[in-house]
Amino acid sequence: MSELSVVVVAPDNEQRAVLHLLVDGTGVAKTEHAVASLIVAATDPILRKIQSIKPDIILVDIPRDAAPALQTIELLHQEVSGSAIFAVGLMSQPQVIVNAMRSGAREFIGSPPTPTDLLEAFVRLSAARRKVQKEGIRGKIFTVVIAKGGSGATTIAVNLALALQSAHGNVALVDMAPLGHTALHLNLKPLFSVEDAIRNLHRLDSSLLESFTTRHSTGLHLLAGSNIPLAIEPSTAEFARLFDMLVGQFRYVVVDGSSRSDASARLVGNLSQAVLLVSHADVASLWSANQIRQYLGQTGGNERLQLVLNRFRKIPGFTEADVEAAAGLKLLWKIPNQYFAASAAIDRGIPLVQHGNTEIARSFAGLASRLTENDATVKRAAWSLFKIS
Ligand SMILES: Nc1ncnc2c1ncn2[C@@H]1O[C@H](COP(=O)(O)OP(=O)(O)O)[C@@H](O)[C@H]1O
Ligand SMILES: [Mg+2]
């Protein structure tokens, strides 16, 4: 890795000196310049100076009174292109971390940083830059949507993602539901969401994308949903770019679409290897599934749409062929009805597949292996066949 050039911005003399030393001490980076004041206007001559240095990294110290430093980050982000901004601040102020990332910082390093913290952040940056240059993996997307509210999309998306994670690793779960519940199912408290990734698309690379995800104890990466209705709906083009990044980084991407049936859901469906339409086996649900199928299939990709029956129980006189005819879909999988286990799993934040070797856990594992049965041999070909650019 070639040496990274760094500009340190820290009004506090002692902190500036410490950061200068720590940067140089990593052995992979060098402080080119240290700035003793924050930047409050786009006309500030310090900005010109930093632009002329073109550093790889600008390290900005955020003191307890964070606002001026956050403004500095925002200005640097707007005015100095090509430099990554690393913020150094207190980990005890989550809102400052969020604001720093939103202002344009790509890393937030706890203060006071250890040499290892800095070194790791520098290495991540170099690795991300290398990764962008070389052709990476192309993962597969599985999208889960429901015909009728409460049919079990989130339960299935969460457990499918965990089953894939345990079988293959390198899995992301993306929550596109109108109101995201996946974090709740996984007992996670995400700082960032899909919205943050979309808002930062212009500078999104693998390490920034990863920092917007929340890691589950199994290693699964969750890109969480919003917990408030979005102010501005992202466009389909924005979702296309986001998913292009995701498949460049993860082997499998599971999407919880829940009740979402709009142009974005359809686009992501078209990018998917399979779209699982979750329904119960009653007439009203299957009729709804048929309506959603027609909408999602309108722009092609009908063959990707498959039916998953949740809370399955045999109904005398109602065959699988009847079910398929009513929904207009091929039946891919049936998940047993286990109301108490399913609701306890949500309440406790411990998904069903983590409850040991139960019938329903085996059912999710079976679904995961069914969806990936051909992957060992046709992994590359499969993507190029289905890729829509
Ligand atoms: N296989 C199942 N058996 C019994 N109950 C289930 C099953 N799957 C989901 N549920 C229950 O259905 C409800 C809705 O599930 P959820 O995954 O939130 O649905 P959706 O995302 O489609 O709205 C939850 O209370 C959950 O416990
Ligand atoms: Mg849901």
Does 378 have pLDDT greater than 70?
A: no
The pLDDT, as a whole number, for residue 237 is 78
Residue 201 DSSP one-character state: G
Is residue 339 within 6 Å of ligand 1 at its C-beta? yes
Contact 300, 359 (CB under 8 A): no
DSSP 262-273: SHHHHHHHHHSS
Instruction: Specify the 3-state DSSP secondary structure of 372.
Output: coil
Is residue 155 within 6 Å of ligand 1 at its C-beta? yes
Identical fold between 4-133 and 140-386? yes
- Residue 276 CA, ligand 1 centroid: distance in Å: 15
- First-residue to last-residue Cα distance in the chain: 33
Atom of ligand 1 nearest to the CA of 360: 1
Q: Is 201 exposed, middle or buried (0-12, 13-18, 19+ CB in 10 A)?
A: middle
What confidence category does residue 133 fall into, taking pLDDT thresholds of 50, 70 and 90? low
Whose CA is closest to 223, among 245, 181, 192?
Answer: 192
Does 381 have pLDDT greater than 70?
A: no
Name the least confident of 38-42, 111-115, 144-148: 111-115
- 253 beta partners: 141, 172
Q: Which stretch, 28-32, 207-211, 307-311, has highest mean pLDDT?
A: 307-311
Ligand closest to Cα of 278 equals 1
Is residue 229 within 6 Å of ligand 1 at its C-beta? no
Atom of ligand 1 nearest to the CA of 149: 23
Beta strands in the chain (DSSP E): 4-9, 29-35, 57-61, 84-89, 105-110, 140-146, 171-175, 214-215, 221-223, 252-258, 274-279, 305-312, 330-336
Name the least confident of 116-130, 241-255, 300-314: 116-130
- Residue 343 CA, ligand 1 centroid: distance in Å: 7
Residue type, 57: I
Atom of ligand 1 nearest to the CA of 146: 22
Does 55 have pLDDT greater than 60?
A: yes
Does 389 have pLDDT greater than 50?
A: no
Instruction: Identify the CATH homologous superfamily for domain 4-133.
Output: Response regulator (3.40.50.2300)
Does 277 have pLDDT greater than 60?
A: yes
The pLDDT, as a whole number, for residue 43 is 93
Q: Which two tokens stand for residue 190?
A: 């995400």
Contact 246, 202 (CB under 8 A): no
**CA–CA separation, 9 and 57 (whole Å):** 11
- Domain locations along the chain: 4-133, 140-386
* Percentage of residues in the chain having pLDDT higher than 70: 93
pLDDT tens track for 330-371: 999 999 999 999 999 999 999 999 998 999 999 999 999 999
Contact 360, 337 (CB under 8 A): no
Length of the chain: 389
**CA–CA separation, 250 and 252 (whole Å):** 5
**CA–CA separation, 19 and 34 (whole Å):** 9
**CA–CA separation, 338 and 26 (whole Å):** 54
Name the least confident of 78-92, 112-126, 329-343: 112-126
DSSP 286-348: HHHHHHHHHHHTTTS-GGGEEEEEEEE---TT--HHHHHHHHTSEEEEEEE--HHHHHHHHHH
As a CATH number, domain 140-386 is: 3.40.50.300
- Residue 212 CA, ligand 2 centroid: distance in Å: 21
pLDDT tens track for 159-206: 999 999 999 999 999 999 988 999 999 999 999 999 999 989 888 888
